Amino acid sequence: MSKNSLPSGLEFRQSVDHMVDRAIAVMDLDKGIANAIKACTSVLQVTFPVEIKGKIEMFTGWRAVHSIHRLPSKGGIRYAHSVDQHEVEALAALMTYKCAIVDVPFGGSKGGLYIDPNQYTRDELQDITRRFTRELAKKGFLSPATNVPAPDVGTGQREMAWIADTYKHLYPEDVNHVACVTGKPVEHGGIRGRTEATGRGIQFALQEFFRHPEEVKAAGMSGSIEGKQIIIQGLGNVGYHSGKFLSEEDGAKIIAVIEHDGAIVNPDGIHIEELRFYLNDHQGVKGFAGGKYIEDGSSVLEMKCDILIPAALEGVIHKDNAGNIKANLIAEAANGPITFEGDRILRSNGVKVLPDAYVNAGGVVVSYFEWIRNLTHLRFGRLERRFDEAKGNCIVHALNEMTGKNVPEHIKHNLAHGADEFDLVRSGLDDSMRLSLQEIIDTYNRDEKIEDYRTAAYVIALSKVSRSYLDIGIF
């Protein structure tokens, strides 16, 4: 692989397999079961025509189902030129492990369309998405019970709404039709907090990491997130939200942001909201006044910082640049941003890595909540919110009466606040991210054969998935 090019889909898939093999090597896992878990269950490839500006254009897309030990199989749909069969297989495998690590009862799947969405108008993208949806549904690769897509690189709420609407028209008798896809707009059956869920999950993961002083020390740092210097690669949905929350709420300093046309560097901290506005308006970061522009973005990956957050595509840290990375900790917000070889080099240099299959799982955790909300046909908090509020007011009243003083306003507000859907989603996500990292750290510290958090995370995933294979049996 050349220095600045992304790995092929095949290299990515092999990289994921090698990482999983490292975990299998330290486990007492039956070889047959291990092979059954690693294999991709099925892959669909479709090629279909769509009329674009009076001409017929052909499009090719894939949906890989990696595992069905739990149903539905879950995972995003990506619109990009990197997409091929191997890439969706690698990403589907990551979904299996990701769901197991954060205890989301889904199998793993992933889809993609070979397309540059920027080359098409909104209406054209709608036609292409609706046609792709029909292909997936007709061939058994889309349904609330068996296979549920979500947003990924190049797709968002808009595409998910088109998928849900197309499915509804195909299967109006399916009372759960709206649960055929997650990441929908709230007005179309989505859940509050899904858009920012992956970024929020990264914040919760880092908050939990800094609650473990021994691990923080082993990563060559001390204290909390406050004041930590962070570099973000990619200011898409995930990079933007994690950068925003970590800087605005936890007091971290985002000292550099790398984008497709270069990087912005500012040792005093970049205003993420302003940079995102600028990026939206100018389709690049060049010219942004809040920092110094550096054309060679990939060189900025190698700048000294406390935490590096690669939040774009796979394979950006590889054997040719891993040795130059000076971060203490890498939080893999993207899927597969470090290759197997790159990972080995980082480990031997003592760089700690919070792996993708854990750290970016916030998206699928909240997708799980959305799917449940769709199946129950009920907004979270709808039944109990006012009841809890009344109970809180009662406690405030009792405290006032018993003490003869008034409960201070801010405490009163917290006591008398009934949780709405947003609060509940955030609480459920925080809990999932905390518990999973605690399990990863425990597993890592329990066995000296486990040399990093990634292997610990895969050991956890493999034991959970293998248990369900062993309990049910292979049939």
Q: Does 159 bind ligand GLU (CB under 6 A)?
A: no
What residue has token string 């759960």? 176
Tell me how far apart the alpha carbons of residues 306 and 321 are, in angstroms, rounded to a whole number: 17
The phi-psi region of residue 67 (left if phi > 0; otherwise alpha if psi is between -120 and 50; otherwise beta) is beta
Which lies closer to ligand GLU via its Cβ, residue 143 or residue 328?
143
Which lies closer to ligand GLU via its Cβ, residue 24 or residue 364?
364
Query: How many residues contact ligand GLU, by CB under 6 A?
Result: 11
Which lies closer to ligand GLU via its Cβ, residue 100 or residue 275?
100
Tokens of 31: 């070889």
Residue 16 beta carbon to ligand GLU: minimum distance, rounded to whole angstroms: 13
Number of Cα atoms under 13 Å in the Cβ half of residue 436 = 38
Which lies closer to ligand GLU via its Cβ, residue 160 or residue 219?
160
Q: Does 191 bind ligand GLU (CB under 6 A)?
A: no
Number of Cα atoms under 13 Å in the Cβ half of residue 314 = 28
Tokens of 107: 């199998």
Q: Does 425 bind ligand GLU (CB under 6 A)?
A: no
Q: What single letter denotes the amino acid at residue 337?
A: P
Residue 63 beta carbon to ligand GLU: minimum distance, rounded to whole angstroms: 12
Q: What single letter denotes the amino acid at residue 173?
A: E
Segment interacting with ligand GLU (CB under 6 A) among 271-279, 280-288, 337-345, 357-365: 357-365
8-state DSSP, 151? B
Residue 335 beta carbon to ligand GLU: minimum distance, rounded to whole angstroms: 5
Which lies closer to ligand GLU via its Cβ, residue 246 or residue 334?
334
Q: Does 76 bind ligand GLU (CB under 6 A)?
A: yes
Residue 74 beta carbon to ligand GLU: minimum distance, rounded to whole angstroms: 4
Tell me how far apart the alpha carbons of residues 468 and 100 are, in angstroms, rounded to a whole number: 11
- Which residues share a beta bridge with 197? none
Among 15, 82, 143, 182, which residue interacts with ligand GLU (rule: CB under 6 A)?
182
Which secondary-structure segment (H or E) carries 295? none
Which residue of the set 31, 38, 74, 110 is catalytic? 110
Q: What single letter denotes the amino acid at residue 301?
A: L
Which secondary-structure segment (H or E) carries 110? strand 107-114
Positions in 18-57 near ligand GLU (CB under 6 A): none
Per the annotation, the verdict on 110 as an active-site residue is yes
Segment interacting with ligand GLU (CB under 6 A) among 74-82, 115-123, 278-286, 407-415: 74-82
Segment interacting with ligand GLU (CB under 6 A) among 14-22, 69-77, 166-174, 397-405: 69-77
Residue 406 beta carbon to ligand GLU: minimum distance, rounded to whole angstroms: 45
Residue 356 beta carbon to ligand GLU: minimum distance, rounded to whole angstroms: 8
Which lies closer to ligand GLU via its Cβ, residue 64 or residue 303?
64
User: Residue with CB nearest ligand GLU?
Assistant: 76
Positions in 310-339 near ligand GLU (CB under 6 A): 335
Which lies closer to ligand GLU via its Cβ, residue 137 or residue 150?
150
Q: Which pairs count as long-range contacts for 455-460, CB under 8 Å and 24+ apart, including other chains?
A: 455/19, 455/22, 455/23, 455/26, 457/97, 457/101, 457/355, 457/357, 457/358, 458/19, 458/20, 458/22, 458/23, 458/97, 458/357, 459/23, 459/26, 459/27, 460/100, 460/101
Residue 178 beta carbon to ligand GLU: minimum distance, rounded to whole angstroms: 15
Q: Does 150 bind ligand GLU (CB under 6 A)?
A: yes
Q: Is residue 310 within 8 Å of residue 233, measured between CB atoms?
A: yes
Q: Is residue 467 within 8 Å of residue 454, measured between CB atoms?
A: no
CA-wise closest residue to 343 among 199, 267, 222, 451:
451
Binding mask 358-377 for ligand GLU (x = CB under 6 A): --x--xx--x----------
What residues are labeled active site? Answer: 110
Interacting residues toward ligand GLU by CB under 6 A: 74-76, 150, 152, 182, 335, 360, 363-364, 367
